[in-house]
Structures are given as structure tokens and as C-alpha cells.
């Protein structure tokens, strides 16, 4: 601040991560966006919560405090699926998990209010705030918790990606205008908004689990800027108001945000404490698009980023790849060219772009792909070919997850895309996520049937053989998802042994995270579609046993991969 001649900041951002200045880090993107708009921005990463030293370091902001739990929900970051404390943290210098408090947002809000009485507004953002914005099941306390604005005692919340809402809210606060009509924000009101969807109250959800499913259905179906209405939820004597989502960014706006002057480094303040592991992955990676319409029930990307794909232009992506040459530690290896789902780049459903996402109709589920959705990998193929031609690029990997069902569904370009991947963009193994093989479990997960996986594996093996490559598939699998019993894990093990001829290593115990239908299933023990009772494993030891069933080592004849 002294070097810049500042005696105050307009906005101070507080985060559960160390400050990594990368386009992959939400709070860094917010800081750079506000900077471009002409605001003075301060950043406090992982403040000491036992004293005021860190939180008071930059003084009090002129406009507001922006508070985020970090790139991951703090409870997910701090605990495993079986509620054991995690010793490591990929967003903390030195890798030791000793800087991020549980329920980081509420802790930071309390810290600010403790040291700055009657301060400027507290604005929440990021994934922890976004996914906890209405009443939600919290796995770690095994309780239905109130919307996070009530527990944190913050003033307003920006949900989703919220880029446009951020600009409008900052301007409104700066000009002392009412911000309660801005799309993409939540706030607390003494009065309901009658024109909005009226959600079950927090107390009704506590009293009746079916009411909680009703609430989540409304929450889930009102996340699209074109189709959504606002939401109003009674909480005690007040109301949580969620305005409709702000608009998605256009391709030009996506490009402009990607051009912001990120250093792609850990801030020098943290250098003495060591490196941050996540930077190894994201420093020389390229995010090609936002959004995912895969709608896996255990994943919150659709609720947070949205179910409509927003892409960057090829020119802008190629410019970023070329800019890597400016860095001394760049060795010509691009770690990832992808997004939430790598092979959704460059195409969308025309009906969705015009009318918004469909209510109760998914683009893809366990049984079929919607006829309106036409997977087309041609633009993605051309992008990857151009990236390989950028001066200085030795190898450009696609490390993001790939939906294999979209490859097999694309009869025109799917084969060509996979061939391109096998030949140029895989680092020894390709990650796919079947998660399970039992149809009733797949349906509860929202994942495609196992025959699709069998067909894809045959094609993948064929292409590897033709290219003379010995590259494997890595399978992500989930144990103890709602609906899954031990007998289902034995069947999954049999399938991996007999059909895939491998020993799974990437199996994880299911974690019920806020903002997902799978967490709703876990809490209610019901299928949200049919309201029928389903089996849910809640015993920690038996959850771990489900995992051990599938990762147990089998001996294979030579030539099989593990």
C-alpha cells in the first residue's frame, strides 16, 4: 500500500487459501476483476484467527469485505469422507493443514466483526457460500443447517460464478444504492418477496424430510439465468431472499477475464513457508470453458458453475498458451487443456441457449442423452491441434475428466477426438469416471450404464494398439453412495476384474457435500424422484469396508494393468 501511495483499500478480500494469483483461483479472479474496474483491492489469505494481527493489517476497507472459504469448502478440505482430519492441504504453503479453520466463512466474519465494530458490509462468495446459501444438510454435524448468511451474520452473498453480480454490487455499494434487486445475490429480509417461488421454511424442512426434498428441487431448478425465478425461504422470523442468477459471460467477456494480468505465482509473502502443491497442477494449465451439464448427483459443479457451457475463443486460448513462454520455469508442458468436463468445449444445446435449462429434464442421465443435445467434438479437435502448433509447446495434456459416453455418442467426430487424445494428449493414462456398474446405483448417481464403458474401453484399447502405445485407463469409483450395499461393491469388483481386467486404485468413500442431490438422498434416505426409501450406509466402518472390497488386490496374468 505504501509503494502504491494508498492510505486505504476499497475492498479487502479474505480467503481460506494462501494468495495464489491464478485464473483458476476464484478470489484471485475477483481481485483482478475489481482492480481492472479501478478499485483498490487488498488480499488477506489464511489470516491468523487467534489475534487481530492479520485481519487488521490493511486497515478497514472503504466499501466492503469480501469473504471466501477458499477454493474448496472448508469442511471438505479439512476432513475425509470418514470424518478423519486431513493432515495435508494443497492450498497452504508447505502443504501442512494448519491454516484453514473449520467453517472458515463464519470464523472469518466473526474475526472481522470482533476487530472492526459497525464495519462496512460483509459480502460472501466462493463455493462454500454458494452451496450453503439455502437450508442445507451438513454431513460433519449431521444436521440441517440454516442458510449461511444467518450463521455467518454477513450482509449479502454472491452465488455461482457471479462475475456480473460482483461488478454491479460493488458499484451499488460505492454509489450508496440499494443492491437488493441485483441478480445473482442473496440477502436477508424482514418481508417475503411475493413474486418469487416460496420455499418450505427451515423449520418445515427440519420437521419433514420430504419438505427438504421440495426445497432442494426448487433450489436446483432455479439456477439458470434465462429460466430461473427468485427464491424466498422463511427462516425463523425472517426470510432468505435469492434473486435470479446473473447472466452468464459471453465469449468476449470470458476472453477479457482470461487476459487479466495474473502472475501465476504464490504471493511472495508466503515464500518462507514453502510451496503450494496445487500450483504444480494449475500454473501452466488452461481453462477452456465454464459449466457442465453432466449432472452427476454427487457433484455440485452444475449448481455452482451452471449447466450451460460458456467457452473462450480459440484465439484467446492460443494466446495464453503462447504467453507461457514468458516464464523461466516453463518447460513446454501444458498440464491441462480442459474444464469441468474436458470434452464439453465448443458445443451446446440450441434449445437451452434460447430458453434456459429444462425443469425435471436432464441433458444426460443413466439411460440416455437428450435428443436435443448433439455432442460435436470438431471444435475441440481443431483447438487441440492448434495448441500443439503454438511455439514452445512440447506437449499439451488433457488431464480434466472426459465423458466417454459423449465420445461414443458423437458418431461424426467422437472416434477422431479419441484418436487425437490417444496420439497426443494423454500422459500414460486417461482418467474416466464410471463411479459404479450396478444399474440401480448408477441411476441414483445420474451416471451412464456400464455397456457404454465397455464399448469405450474396446475403442480406447484398439486405438492404443494402432498407435503402438501402452496407455491405460484410470477409473474413478465411489463406495457407499446412497443405494449402494456391500453386495453391489462385490459385483463392481467382479466387473473390474473380469470385464476391465484391472485392480482399481482410485476408489473413494462417498462424501455428502452441500448443493448435491446425493447429499439429499443421504440425509432423507429417499430417492428424490420417487420419494421411495433407499438403503443408505451410515456406519463409518462399513463405508470403509465397501471401499476395501473394490480396491483389494487380485493377481492377474502378465499383461494386465493395475
How far apart, in whole angstroms, are the C-alpha atoms of residue 549 and residue 543? 10
Angle CA 150–155–156, to nearest 5: 95
3-state secondary structure 291-350: CCCCCCCCCCHHHHCCCCCEECCHHHHHHHHHHHHHCCCCCCEECEEECCCHHHCCCCCH
d(CA 548, CA 543): 9
Q: Which residues 6+ apart lie within 8 Å of 427 measured at CB?
A: 395, 397, 399
What number of helices (H) and strands (E) belong to the chain?
21, 20
d(CA 172, CA 472): 53
Decide if 333 contacts 392 (C-beta within 8 A). no
According to DSSP, the β-strands at 64-67 and 136-138 are unpaired
Helix (H, G, I), strand (E, B) or coil at 473: strand
- 181 SS3 class: coil
Cα–Cα distance measured from residue 130 to residue 163, given in angstroms and rounded to the nearest whole number: 13
If DSSP codes are grouped into helix, strand and coil, which group holds residue 105?
helix
Q: Which residues pair with 557 in a beta bridge?
A: none
Rounded distance, CA 232 to CA 135, Å? 11
501 Ramachandran zone, left/alpha/beta (phi>0; psi -120 to 50): left
**Beta strand 289-290 pairing with 310-311:** antiparallel
CB atoms within 10 A of CB 322: 14
Q: Look up residue 270 and give its DSSP letter.
A: G
Strand order in the sheet with 429-435: 429-435, 472-479, 506-509
User: 405 and 374 in contact (C-beta within 8 Å)?
Assistant: no
Is 9 annotated to bind a ligand? Reply is no
- Taken in order 360, 363, 364, 368, is the CA torsion positive or negative? positive
232 is in an annotated binding site: no
Is 358 annotated in a binding site? The answer is: no
DSSP result, 337-391: EE-SSGGGTT---HHHHHH-SPTT--SB-SS-B-TT-----HHHHHHHHHHHHST
**Stated length of the chain:** 562
Bridge partners for 476 per DSSP: 506
Distance CA 445, CA 450 (A): 13
Q: What are residue 152's phi and psi, to 5 degrees?
A: -85, -20
The rounded distance, in Å, linking the Cα atoms of 229 and 235 is: 19
Q: Which residues are annotated as a binding site?
A: 292, 296, 299
Q: Which residues are annotated as a binding site for [4Fe-4S] cluster?
A: 292, 296, 299
Amino acid at each position: 500500500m505504501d509503494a502504491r501511495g494508498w492510505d486505504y483499500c476499497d475492498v479487502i478480500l479474505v480467503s481460506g487459501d494462501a494468495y495464489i494469483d491464478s485464473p483458476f483461483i476464484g478470489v484471485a479472479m475477483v481481485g483482478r476483476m475489481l482492480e481492472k474496474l479501478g478499485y483498490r483491492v487488498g488480499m488477506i489469505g489464511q489470516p491468523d484467527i487467534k489475534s487481530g494481527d492479520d485481519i487488521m493489517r490493511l486497515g478497514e476497507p472503504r466499501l466492503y469485505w469480501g469473504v471466501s472459504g477458499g477454493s474448496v469448502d472448508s469442511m471438505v478440505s479439512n476432513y475425509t469422507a470418514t470424518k478423519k482430519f486431513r493432515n495435508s492441504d494443497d492450498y497452504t504453503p508447505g502443504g501442512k493443514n494448519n491454516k484453514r479453520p473449520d467453517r472458515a466463512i463464519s470464523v472469518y466474519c466473526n474475526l472481522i466483526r470482533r476487530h472492526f465494530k459497525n464495519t462496512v458490509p460483509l459480502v460472501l462468495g466462493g463455493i462454500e457460500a454458494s452451496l450453503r446459501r439455502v437450508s442445507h444438510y451438513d454431513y460433519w454435524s449431521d444436521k440441517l443447517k440454516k442458510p449461511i448468511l444467518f450463521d455467518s451474520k454477513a450482509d449479502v452473498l454472491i452465488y455461482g460464478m457471479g462475475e456480473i453480480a460482483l461488478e454491479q454490487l460493488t458499484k451499488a455499494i460505492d454509489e450508496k444504492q440499494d443492491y437488493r434487486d441485483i441478480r445473482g445475490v442473496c440477502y436477508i429480509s424482514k418481508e417475503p418477496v411475493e413474486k418469487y417461488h416460496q420455499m418450505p421454511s427451515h423449520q418445515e424442512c427440519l420437521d419433514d424430510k420430504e419438505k427438504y426434498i421440495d426445497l432442494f428441487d426448487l433450489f436446483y431448478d432455479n439456477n439458470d439465468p434465462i429460466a430461473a425465478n427468485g427464491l424466498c425461504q422463511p427462516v425463523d422470523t425472517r426470510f432468505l431472499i435469492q434473486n435470479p442468477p446473473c447472466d452468464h459471460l459471453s465469449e468476449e467477456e470470458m476472453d477479457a477475464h482470461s487476459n487479466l494480468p495474473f502472475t501465476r505465482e504464490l504471493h511472495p509473502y508466503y515464500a518462507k513457508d514453502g510451496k503450494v502443491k496445487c500450483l504444480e497442477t494449475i500454473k501452466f494449465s488452461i481453462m477452456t470453458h465454464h459449466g457442465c451439464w453432466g449432472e452427476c448427483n454427487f457433484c455440485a459443479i452444475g449448481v455452482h458453475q451452471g449447466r450451460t457451457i460458456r467457452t473462450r475463443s480459440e484465439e484467446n486460448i492460443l494466446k495464453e498458451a503462447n504467453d507461457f513462454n514468458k516464464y523461466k520455469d516453463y518447460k513446454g508442458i501444458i498440464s491441462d487443456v480442459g474444464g469441468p468436463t474436458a470434452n464439453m468445449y465448443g458445443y451446446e444445446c440450441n434449445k437451452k441457449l434460447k430458453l434456459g435449462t429444462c425443469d425435471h429434464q436432464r441433458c444426460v442421465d443413466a439411460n440416455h442423452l437428450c435428443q436435443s443435445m448433439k455432442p460435436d467434438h470438431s471444435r475441440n479437435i481443431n483447438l487441440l491441434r492448434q495448441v500443439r502448433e503454438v511455439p514452445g509447446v512440447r506437449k499439451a495434456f488433457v488431464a480434466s475428466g472426459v465423458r466417454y459416453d459423449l465420445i461414443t455418442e458423437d458418431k461424426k467426430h467422437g472416434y477422431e477426438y479419441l484418436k487425437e487424445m490417444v496420439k497426443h494428449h494423454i500422459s500414460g493414462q486417461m482418467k474416466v469416471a464410471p463411479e459404479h456398474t450396478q444399474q440401480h446405483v448408477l441411476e441414483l448417481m445420474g451416471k451412464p450404464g456400464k455397456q457404454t464403458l465397455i464399448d469405450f474401453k474396446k475403442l480406447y484399447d484398439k486405438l492404443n494398439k494402432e498407435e503402438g502405445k501402452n496407455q491405460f485407463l484410470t477409473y474413478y469409483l465411489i463406495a457407499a453412495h446412497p443405494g449402494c450395499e456391500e453386495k453391489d461393491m462385490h459385483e463392481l469388483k467382479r466387473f473390474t476384474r473380469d470385464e476391465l481386467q484391472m485392480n482399481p486404485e482410485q476408489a473413494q468413500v462417498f462424501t455428502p457435500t452441500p448443493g448435491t442431490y446425493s447429499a439429499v438422498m443421504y440425509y432423507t434416505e429417499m430417492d428424490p424422484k420417487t420419494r421411495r426409501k433407499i438403503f443408505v450406509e451410515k456406519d463409518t466402518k462399513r463405508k470403509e469396508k465397501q471401499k476395501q472390497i473394490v480396491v483389494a488386490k487380485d493377481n492377474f496374468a502378465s499383461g494386465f494393468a493395475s
